[in-house]
Amino acid sequence: MSSDGKLNILNLKDPKIKTLHITWFAFFLTFVVWFSHAPLMVFIKEAFNLSTPQVKALLILNVALTIPARIAIGILVDKFGPRVIYSSLLIISSFICVGFAMANSYEQLALFRFLLGFVGAGFVIGIRMVGEWFPAKQVGIAEGIYGGWGNFGSAAGAMSLPTIALMFGGDDGWRYALGLTGVIAGLYGIFFYNAARNTPKGSTYFKPKKSGGLEVTSKGDFYFYLLMNIPMYIALAVLAWKLSPSGVALLTTQTMYIMWIALTVLFVFQTNAIYQVNKENLSKGVSDLEKYKFKQVAILDIAYFVTFGSELAVVSMLPLFFLDTFEGLDPVKAGLLASGFAFMNLVARPTGGWFSDKFGRRKSLMLLIGGLAVGYFVLGNITGAWWIPVAVIATMCCSFFVQAGEGAVFAIVPLVKRRMTGQIAGMAGAYGNVGAVTYLTVLSFVDYSTFFYVISASAAVIFFFCWFIEEPKGQMAEVMPDGSVHLIDVE
């Protein structure tokens, strides 16, 4: 930290700055691996002679596992710490990525692509890590740098992997490019384990009393928590439907029904696990010092639903939107124009975190989601009559509010309940994927303008709910291993 109290990200002698850099780069690599197939799909499609429905199936499979994985990883990181979980995720993902690069059939491609959705849970781990190392007054911008620079991994992969594939040459150049990303991720996982530490020296890593679900502090919050789990299962059921003959026909109708039954059983199992975690709290109650309101988590979930959810959905359709809206554009130019949406992550997400640190958590979140609503309303009015540079500027302005809103969400997550930060981040992150599934499903039934209007309207509703989020004040209480209570500043 500099003498005036501001965050100096170039001061690598500061242990927390060093931790921030090695952590965002771990996240960066997870996004390179997760989206490595997208820029190489033209090579993969040609190598396996894939049909358009088969390509769409691979894109759906790439995000299917991420929803449950973020929940599971959140539980694991709170229990075992981010150091070992991030290292493990990178190393395991490296083998899956190499497996995808070596696939010899469409079925193998589909299996490894589904499994690589697991790496999309890496984001959750660093949220807990950064939250441990930075004080409340800096945690917003630190989480923003982590998220923004890490998210840039998908854009960096898109820019570099096709060139790497061509450098290797031949029909298998894409395999070497993909395999290389896996090898780098695995080696970095080993480095991360040796270089990272869960907490600053002398600090305690607080863990949940029980694993299997969030601890809640009232019966009302218990039922609210169960209700908030339902949309995640619905999203997974929709993904199964999209893979059935009603969608891309990768699964049979019978298999889809089996998956729906499995999801129902899993929901019952999770509900029981959550009850077991909270049984003692519900019967005996908890002290006022340890209480928190689950509505804080729920509002962050739906805020990330509309921010990151809309980003994932829009990034996947924006090139086609430009291509279909403006005459004379070729696919390459349309892709370049649309890339501005993702590039804003480098600046916008840290800015959202800084807003939250500087001007207040609730006020910043409401301002940014309100701007997002207006931005998507403007995009809904874009027609072929618009001057293309104006349309691109409108798109980038909208993307600023989207990604700054993401930064504002995760500026609050570490301040709700420290020992459950991983699980809270996992649930919010999963809701981002639920948002993407929801919006892309809407897009399959409506035109582009209506699609943007739907996002705008949902953002306006969520803007209203953000009014009810409570500004973190004073201190949060955590119980030490010896039973004593430790107070952590949240402002």
CA 153, 466, 211: angle at the middle one, nearest 5? 65
Model pTM score: 0.90
User: Which burial class, exposed, middle or buried, applies to 288 when counting CB atoms under 10 A from its CB (0-12, 13-18, 19+)?
Assistant: exposed
CA distances from 149 to 309, 343, 395 (A): 18, 10, 20
Q: For residue 1, count other CB atoms closer than 10 A to its CB.
A: 14
In terms of Cα–Cα distance, which of 226, 192, 215 is closest to 89? 192
Average pLDDT over residues 236-255: 89
**Distance (Å, whole) CA 339 – CA 353:** 23
Q: Are 428 and 307 in contact (CB under 8 A)?
A: no
Residue of 72 and 481 predicted with greater confidence: 72
Mean pLDDT to the nearest integer, 474-482:
60
Domains and CATH numbers, the chain: 1-205 (1.20.1250.20), 212-491 (1.20.1250.20)
> What is the average pLDDT across 326-346?
78
Q: Please, what is the average pLDDT of the chain?
A: 89
pLDDT band for 370, please (50, 70, 90 cuts).
very high
CB count in 10 Å sphere of residue 209: 10
Q: Note the pLDDT tens digit of each residue in 322-333.
A: 888 888 777 777
The amino acid occupying position 455 is I
Q: Is the pLDDT of residue 469 over 70?
A: yes
Q: What is the pLDDT of residue 490?
A: 64
pLDDT-derived band at 298 (thresholds 50, 70, 90) equals: very high
